[in-house]
Amino acid sequence: MKYYDQHVHTDFSFDSQEKMEHYMRLAGDDFVTTEHLEFHNPDEKDQDSLLDYDAYTREIDRLKSVTGKRIYKGVEVGVSLGQEDKIREYLSNHEFDIKLLSFHQNGQFDFMDDKVKHMDPVEVTDLYYRNMWKEINAFHDGDVLAHFDYGVRQLNLTSGQFATTAGVLLTNIFKLAIRYDLAFEVNTKSMYRYHNIGLYDYAIEIYKQLGGKRYTIGSDAHKVDQFENHFSDAIAFLQAHDIHHVNVFRKNSMTIVPLDDVDERIKY
């Protein structure tokens, strides 16, 4: 099986304007988008950001017919305390091939808001990972733990500062992720746009040493020119950590793809 980007957004997400069809010229035979689902979204004046599932399905069916590609349905679930029942209800009524779990907000603000830059970085880090630990305890029905570092993207933390503040909490979070079969996402936007490679070096070793064996690579693309960005670097990163496979999720099933078998167009 050839690998493909496991974290992609289109204009079916509230924060992207990119048409799904624009990705088709770059995608291989397999393609998936992971559109946002965020209840009580502070970036949208506390309104719910819901995927228009019927329109999404129609567009996928249209592009399948036009391109002959295998196109799958995905969702990025924004988990926040108190929204678990709404999330469960939505997911019970809508089928997806892959579900990413993300932790974007605390019910008051999104951790990528500009205000976070002016807050105490230690307090922000502690708050974010304490919330994530509570939230993953409350809701863990997914396939992938996406961008573990989302809450500190706005901060300028060294790996040492991060380890001192978040190390114990992150270890406990990864224990839960492994218990619930959540893959570790190598998020290339975090690593190369937000310069968090050091945090990923640190975190992936914790996940691996705790017994984690599932890994995905996702660009977190919101524009077509971000699609599969830095994937060759991500593959080299995994190999440097003595990891030699990635995973693909489809309809509640998981497939192992050896890195040696990754599509040549991604590798080079």
More confident residue, 105 or 265: 105
Mean pLDDT along residues 58-70: 98
Per-residue pLDDT, 62: 98
Does the pLDDT value for residue 267 go beyond 60? no
Condensed to tens digits (0 to 9), the pLDDT of residues 82-107 reads 999 999 999 999 999 999 999 999 99
d(CA 22, CA 222) in angstroms, rounded, equals 11
CATH (residue range 20-267): 3.20.20.140
Does the pLDDT value for residue 117 go beyond 80? yes
Mean pLDDT along residues 3-25: 97
Per-residue pLDDT, 151: 97
Q: How confident is the model at residue 156 (pLDDT cuts 50, 70, 90)?
A: confident
Per-residue pLDDT, 2: 82
Mean pLDDT along residues 44-71: 96
Count Cβ neighbours within 10 Å for each residue of 133-169 and write b for 16 or more, e otherwise.
Answer: bebbeebbebbbbbbbbbbbbbbebebeebbebbbeb
Mean of the per-residue pLDDT values of the chain: 95
Mean pLDDT along residues 17-38: 97
Mean pLDDT along residues 6-33: 97
Does the pLDDT value for residue 261 go beyond 90? no
- CA neighbours closer than 13 Å in the CB half-sphere of residue 22: 15
Per-residue pLDDT, 264: 59
Locate 240 and state its tokens.
């440097």
Per-residue pLDDT, 248: 96
